[in-house]
Each structure stands twice: as C-alpha cells, then as structure tokens.
Amino acid sequence: MGFRLESVAASASGPRPSNQDSAFAAPWGAGVADGVGGGPAGDLASAAFVHRLVAGWHQSPDAEMLTERTLMANWDIAAHAHRDPRVAGMATTFTGLFIGYRDRLLLAHIGDSRAYSLRAGTMTRMTRDDSFVQALVDGGHVRAEDAMRHPHRNLITASMSGGPDDLPLVTWVDPRQDDRWLLCSDGLTDYVDDSAVCEALRRGNREDAASDLISLALDAGAADNVTVVVVDVDTSDDAPARRAPVFVGAAAHRFTIDDPFRDQAG
C-alpha cells in the first residue's frame, strides 16, 4: 500500500515583531518547529533545523534513520552557535510526521509543539508536551483543563539546542485512508481549547481548516506566533507527486533558494 501526505502549512507572527516558528509541508512529510522563547535567535534555530532536516530527503526512513536525521539537523544549530557566540543557547521544538519504511508513518517529537490525529471524526492528541506544566499535570498537581492558563505553561524541559543529549521521541503509527493530522506550535494550543481545534479540523477543505485554526488563535488573543500544518493521508494507488517542500514562517525567509516548483508544493 503506497501512500502520500497532502498538506497545507500556514503561519502568522501574531502581535510579535518577528516569527520564530518554522514549518514545512511535502508529500513525504511535514513538520513544525518553534524557536524557544526567552533565548537568542529562535527564528534561526527553527529555520536551520527544518532546512537541514529536509535537505536531500530521498528515502522512506525507519525510526533509527529519522532519529539520525534529526541529530544531524541539531548539529547545524550547534555549528551556528560555534560560528557566532551571540546566538549560543538558541533552541527549537520540533514535531514532524513522515512516511516511513514499509508504508507506515513516523512521528517525531520534542518540546511543546503538538500533533493531533483526526480519525472518523474523533481527534486524539498524539504527543506529550516536554514541559514543566505537563509534569505538574502528570503528577496530579494541575488539572489538564487548567494547563493552558498556567503562568509557567511556556517552560519546556526538552528541545533541540545543539546539545549532545538532545533526542526526539520517534514512534510508529499505522496510516488509514482519510486520516487527518494537525501539527501545530503552542501559539494555537495555549489559546484555543481542543474542542474548538477539533471543530475546525473537521472542515472538509485543508486550506479552510488551516485558515480557521490561525484565525481562532488570533481572535483568542494569542500573544505568540501561530503555526499549523494540516495533513491528510492519501492511500490511493496514484503515484506520489514529486513536489518540492513548501516552507512557512522563519523557514520561508532563511536558507531558501529560488525554486520553480515551490508554488506547486503543499
């Protein structure tokens, strides 16, 4: 069973002067990276990570291969910091979905960006936040419904920072025709509850769903960048399209080259 991913990516800086989120969408994968706030050059960290991860992609990986690619992208962050001490300490979250070996999906995650799966109308959160507040929730000290309003909700406990111990969690997922996925930065989930996210995600059109999700966050007063990728699983017999990745957010402005196929991707 061959399949491909049909994706739409969208990003808004919100009230912030710059966008430190990066995302990409391609027939073989999609991902969201959120430059860690409070540190230097979050936009550089997210963009560098995404572009290095995507560069030269040519095969369906297994979990070990995907982990190795994320570590290579992490080394790029370290290299930037080595060249310019002013950006030392920069870091990014990452959540990505990829077509893997033997027609399965691979989900990679670190930080507090999230992945949700919509199957037969039911939305399921597929990632656990690497965050201080999530630890409080797990320990029974904070109710899950109060987490999005907690004053320390943006304190994360793991990220890709160029360090030797940075390691995303990579898991296998079995795809089904008409599954829909949402990959998003916390600029959405810190301001919009899951019921409203699910309602928007159920929209039949990917573009409308992505637009609605961005609008929901901004209308809710999001004080952060907001980035979403809406991904539909297509298990039809059609050959996978050969399209270049689409980049949004900081990744659309850094490390890009003129590409005659870019406008056809997504």
Tell me, what CATH number does 215's domain have? 3.60.40.10
Whether residue 54 is predicted with pLDDT greater than 80 in this model: the reply is: yes
| 100 domain residue, yes or no | yes
Bridge-based pairing state of the strands 180-184 and 114-119:
antiparallel
Range of the domain at 217: 4-14+20-255
pLDDT attached to residue 177: 87
CA dihedral over 99, 251, 40, 148, signed as positive or negative = negative
pLDDT bin (cut points 50, 70, 90) of residue 262 is very low
Q: How far apart are CA 187 and CA 93, in angstroms?
A: 13
Nearest 5°: the CA angle 223, 227, 229 is 155
Q: What is the DSSP letter of 156?
A: B
Which residues sit opposite 35 in a β-bridge? 92
170 in any annotated domain? yes
Q: Is pLDDT at 265 greater than 50 in this prediction?
A: no
Lowest mean pLDDT among 55-64, 94-103, 105-114: 55-64
In a domain, 201, yes or no: yes
- Answering whether pTM is above 0.95, one says no
Residue 21 confidence (pLDDT) above 60:
yes
Question: What is the CA angle 50-55-59, rounded to 5?
Answer: 110
For residue 125, CA distances in Å to 29, 31, 182, 204 come to 19, 16, 9, 20
Residue 246 has pLDDT above 90, yes or no: yes
How many domains does the chain contain in total?
A: 1
Q: How far apart are CA 127 and CA 110, in angstroms?
A: 9
- Domain membership flag for residue 266: no
Tokens standing for residue 42: 């979050």
pLDDT at 56: 85
Closest to 101 measured CA to CA, from 128, 157, 61? 61
> Quick one: pLDDT band at residue 260, thresholds 50, 70, 90?
very low
Sort residue 19 into left (φ over 0), alpha (ψ -120 to 50) or beta. Answer: beta
Residue 44 lies in a domain: yes
- Structural domain contains residue 175: yes
Nearest to 191 by CA among 230, 225, 159, 231: 225
Residue 166 resides in a domain? yes
In a domain, 113, yes or no: yes
